[in-house]
Chain A
Amino acid sequence: MKHKLAELVTDLSADYADIRHEENRKIQIVYRGKKLEQITASSTAGGNLRAYAGGGRSIASFSDPASAGSIAKTAVASARLVGASRDTPLRIAPAPVVTDSFLVSPTEDPRSLPLEEKLALAAHYNELILGEADVVSTMTAYDEFYSRRQFINSEGSVVEYDLLNVGIAGFVVTKRGNVVQRIRFAFGGNEDFAGLRGREDDLKRQIVKAQELLDAEPAKAGLFPVILDQSESSLFIHEAFGHLSEADGLQNNPAFRERLQLGTTLAKPILTVTDDSTVPGHPGSYEIDDEGVRGVRTHLITEGVLTGRLHSRETAAEFDEPLSGNMRAVDIQFTPIVRMSNISIEPGESTFDDMVASIDDGYYLVGAKGGQTSGDQFTFGAQWGYRIRNGKLGPMVRDINMSGELFSTLEAISMIGNDRKFGERGGCGKGGGGPMQLNRKSGSGAPHIKIDRVTVGGVG
């Protein structure tokens, strides 16, 4: 296979070509309520090819290896068609040739465990939830994804690498009268099955919150100072800032390119943000990206100043900035796009108690509940929250979210906690100019942070 792929990319008469071949194995077990709704073991394979020719770029993907040759030739012709229409040719930054192998060997390897064991663990957690008061439904899903990838380019890189990710995630649905609430939980997020065991206490804490939410009042809308817990801070820095540090999103947006020049002051000096694929054990950790470039630690904001960006070889050439190894594809059907690895806010010096004490009338938002950004606008949900009045935590609130504009919100970060935590499960949806790719290998971490003024939305 490797030899055939190498022949394919070198015989294309393209300026540059690469191919990524994948053999993927997935196991999914899904409980909903008392029912085992899905148990799946599946195997897929295929390839994804990129060609640069005549100043243009083209992409092709296929599941039938027999069609690889013809589709690759069409891709080169398409790249030339793109190039012929452009005023400025697309080009890629030089990158070291890599001939190496990066295979994973976890402490407790999920690939070697029997299906029965995975099923029993998911069932155990699901039953634990169902045994609690007010619970009307659950979703408990075991997800294991293993991808053996081969990357070969026309410059001589030949890389074999593994992606392995295992986790249990889901939600608890509680109901009393007409009030229905849902709380998420998630364990794992790396290659080690051991991280999924013994998580009963963590799960019970989430169930208690789902029960307590039934008595909580909806949040009131308005402008407030807020404290975000580590999970919500992680979501904020990932969604609101992180996506704007991905250079492919800026590449064709002149207004944002102008606004986000390196050296621009974005926040108070207390804020430092990094993206780091080299730190082990997190969802977004890896050795090499899907463009054959080694992952690194990138300082995105250093003491409030924009100092770095996440790149592909193409955007690194266009911005004349260093490679960062952030090109990743979810699976065969997708071409790599620029993605965060493990983005995080570096720890500060404030304590949580200091933050609460500094607020007369505001909210404490807890637990990421998904978010959405569009350029500099963001909206995030929180799983639950608490009112803060006169420097003290008040009652729990539900149905709470926050929204705002990135730049003014970054400036409004006034305290950073000394208690950074990384989330266990990753996840990020991004189109990047193509179809939506839902990437499970995306991590984030942060301490508590205080934002002086943000729009809080609620149903009330």
Chain B
Amino acid sequence: MNPIIDRAKQTVDQAELYWNRTDRIDVRYANYSMQTITQDQHSSVALRVVSDGKLGTTYGITPDQDGLLEDARTAAAHGDPATFSFAPAADYPEVRTYDGEAASLTSEDLVALCEAAKERIRSKRPDIALAIQARRETFHRIVQTTHGADAESRSTAIRFGISAPIKGAGIRVVKSMASIAPFELNEALVEEFLEWYGWTEKTSTPSTGRLPVILAPEAAFLLHLPLCAGLSADAVQRGTSPLCNRVGEQILSEKLTLVDNALLDGDIDSRAFDDEGVPCQKRAVVEAGVLKGFLVDQRNGAALSVPSTGNARKKALFGEGTELSPNPWPINLETRPGEISYREMIADLDEGLLLTSGMGFHSGNYPQGQFSVQAVGFHIRDGRVVGRLDKTMVSGDIYRDLLSVRAVSREQKGHYIDSMLAVGRAPYILIDELQVAGQ
């Protein structure tokens, strides 16, 4: 145990130390030209204490920083009564999150990956303003409590992305991938990027009305983020979740199964323990459309008299970091894939949309499942893509419109570079109908 935990035992009722050290190299190209290399080395801590029965928090750089424990005690002196306990000792599951070769990657290695993409794409499309990003990160995370939780993990993440602005508009075509281990340039990723970029060169505005919509994995936030809000034990115990008292009910199509899989081997989002030091797990939250359970942390678990599910994350809609309070959030959410390809979905439509993103999502009433966004993606007619969407809005309610899903694709992907809203992996999902405002 870190000495601050021992010191805390003598002066406060309970304490919880969260300590994260990151080492990051980031290489960026813009318009086929290398722009910058960034290297960051940071240490950050959060210390929560319960003193005289009241909760207080402080943040700092290292556990041995002067005044850290005193700041937390000062905050606690004015705090509300603590209604929960910090995590007890536990056995943590084995999950592979670290790759030694990835941890030793240098900026030169990342430059080589970017150069391979640059040469490959420039040979086909020298006319586009290609941006490339490659990032290597290592994380060393510790959570310890005076109740005996003692969790430590090292993890690596390599992220790679290519993007380019669409000519005549500012929207970008983006493709990305990630792994805990080094990888070569993925030809399929490049081919799909080039194909999608080619699709943007004509614009097309669909009819106004209710149309079938293919939700691409890049747009999965339209499903995942309302669900994150609805599944949160915080919203449940406040009574604001639209899923209150609905466990066991059909909330989505029977074709949709969502699993929070923290233990997926070798995935960058997998974790053995959450940000409160509680063991993580693999569990279905929606199975064949039926609500199976909620995402629970220590605080909200105590309020609902249920145990934590290991879903405490220092994360909010627009960010993640030590200075955020733990709250319920999925660890590694995935919508399970189906059996057909998304190209078959496109071929099957007389008219519809392939939605690759939606602008303005966060200003809508998404905690209740509703969205109304400017559609980004492609217009489908007679079984083929006829151009990128122009002047088109799409709106819906996931708890109404995603009860009718025609198909789920076997392709399943995440979105890994600088997307504010990306959460989890998903297949392409063909929704029977959404409200489209076009021509």
Binding site for B on A (CB under 8 A): 26, 30, 32-33, 35-46, 56-64, 67, 71, 74-75, 78-79, 81-82, 85-88, 90, 115-116, 119, 136-137, 173, 175, 178, 180-182, 221-222, 244, 251-256, 332-333, 335, 369-381, 399, 401, 403-405, 429, 431, 433-436, 438, 455, 457-459
The answer for the CA separation of A60 and B28 in the assembled complex, in Å, is: 14
**Taking the complex as formed, is B293 at the interface, i.e. its CB lies under 8 A from any CB of chain A?**
no
Q: Binding site of A, secondary structure by majority: helix, strand, loop or mixed?
A: strand
Please, how many angstroms separate the alpha-carbon atoms of A29 and B29 in the complex? 40
Distance A30 CA – B78 CA, assembled complex (angstroms): 12
Could you jot down 12 A-B contacts, CB within 8 Å? Answer: A40-B59, A63-B61, A75-B39, A78-B107, A87-B33, A180-B367, A252-B30, A252-B129, A372-B361, A374-B171, A399-B364, A459-B372
Q: Give 20 A-B pairs besides A33-B238, A59-B36, A405-B169 with Cβ atoms closer than 8 angstroms.
A: A38-B325, A40-B323, A41-B75, A42-B57, A43-B59, A43-B65, A58-B36, A75-B39, A79-B37, A85-B33, A115-B74, A119-B78, A137-B238, A221-B372, A377-B171, A381-B363, A401-B364, A436-B318, A457-B393, A459-B435
The residue that B40 contacts in the complex, of A42, A60, A254, with Cβ under 8 A, is A60
| A61 contacts across to B, CB distance below 8 A | 38-42
- For A259, the closest partner residue in chain B by CB is B168
Given contacts A44-B44, A115-B78, contact A255 B107 (CB under 8 A): no
CB–CB A182/B365 < 8 A: yes
> In the complex, what's the smallest C-beta–C-beta distance from A120 to chain B, in angstroms?
10
Please measure, in the bound complex, the distance between the C-alpha atom of A332 and the C-alpha atom of B321, giving whole angstroms: 14
Whether B360 and A372, one on each chain, are in contact in the complex, defined by CB atoms closer than 8 angstroms, is yes
Known A64-B41, A222-B437, A433-B30: A255·B165 in contact at CB below 8 Å: yes
A40 touches B393 (CB 8 A): no
Interface residue range, chain B:
35 or more
Whole-angstrom CA separation of A438 from B107 in the bound complex: 27
A126 to chain B, nearest CB (A): 12
A403 CA to B61 CA, complexed, in Å:
42
The one of B38, B62, B208, B376 that contacts A60, using a Cβ cutoff of 8 Å: B38
Given contacts A42-B323, A371-B363, contact A376 B107 (CB under 8 A): no
Known pairs A61-B42, A252-B129, A429-B420; A373 contacts B363 (CB<8 A): no
Instruction: Point out the residue from A79, A180, A457 that lies within 8 Å of B374, measured CB to CB.
Output: A457
With both beta carbons as reference points, the residue of chain A lying nearest to B238 in the complex is identified as A137
Once the chains are docked, how many angstroms separate the CA of A87 from the CA of B33? 8
For B35, B42, B108, B418, which residue has the most chain A Cβ atoms within 10 angstroms?
B35
Which B residue sits closest to A85, measured CB to CB?
B34
B42-A333 in contact (CB<8A): yes
CA gap between A372 and B367 in the complex, in Å: 18
Check B2 for interface membership: any CB of A closer than 8 A.
no
How distant is the Cα of A19 from the Cα of B166 in the complex, in angstroms? 36
* Cβ-based interface call for B395 (8 A): yes
**Residue from B30, B208, B325 within 8 A of A37 (CB atoms):** B325
A41 to B76, CA, bound (A): 10
Candidates B115, B368, B374, B437; contact of A377 at CB < 8 Å: B374
Q: With the chains together, A67 CA to B39 CA distance in Å?
A: 12
Contact between B239 and A62, CB atoms less than 8 A apart: no
**Within the assembled complex, what's the spacing in Å between the Cα atoms of A35 and B418?**
33
Give A220's nearest chain B residue, CB to CB.
Answer: B437
B58 contacts across to A, CB distance below 8 A: 40-43
Pairwise interchain contact A82-B323, C-beta atoms closer than 8 A: no
Nearest neighbor of B133 in chain A, beta-carbon distance: A433
Q: Which of B37, B43, B319, B367 contacts A58 (CB 8 A)?
A: B37
Contact B75 A40 (CB under 8 A): yes
Within 8 A of A (CB), among B168-212: 168-172, 208
- CB neighbours (8 Å) of B42 from chain A are 46, 61-63, 332-333
Chain A neighbourhood of B28, CB < 8 A: 433-434
B170 and A86: CB pair below 8 A? Answer: no
B372 surroundings in chain A (CB, below 8 A): 221, 399, 401, 457-459
- Chain B residues contacting A244 (CB-CB under 8 Å) are 170
What is the distance, in angstroms, from B4's C-beta to the closest C-beta of chain A? 15
Interface residues of B in 14-53 (CB under 8 A from A): 26, 28, 30-31, 33-44
Bound form: Cα–Cα A327–B40 in Å: 20
- Please state if B418 and A435 are interface contacts (CB–CB under 8 Å): yes
With beta carbons under 8 angstroms apart, the residue of B108, B318, B368 that contacts A180 is B368
**Alpha-carbon separation in the docked complex, A369 to B360 (Å):** 10
- Check B41–A67 contact: CB distance below 8 A: yes
Other-chain contact of B363, A39, A376, A380 (Cβ < 8 Å): A380
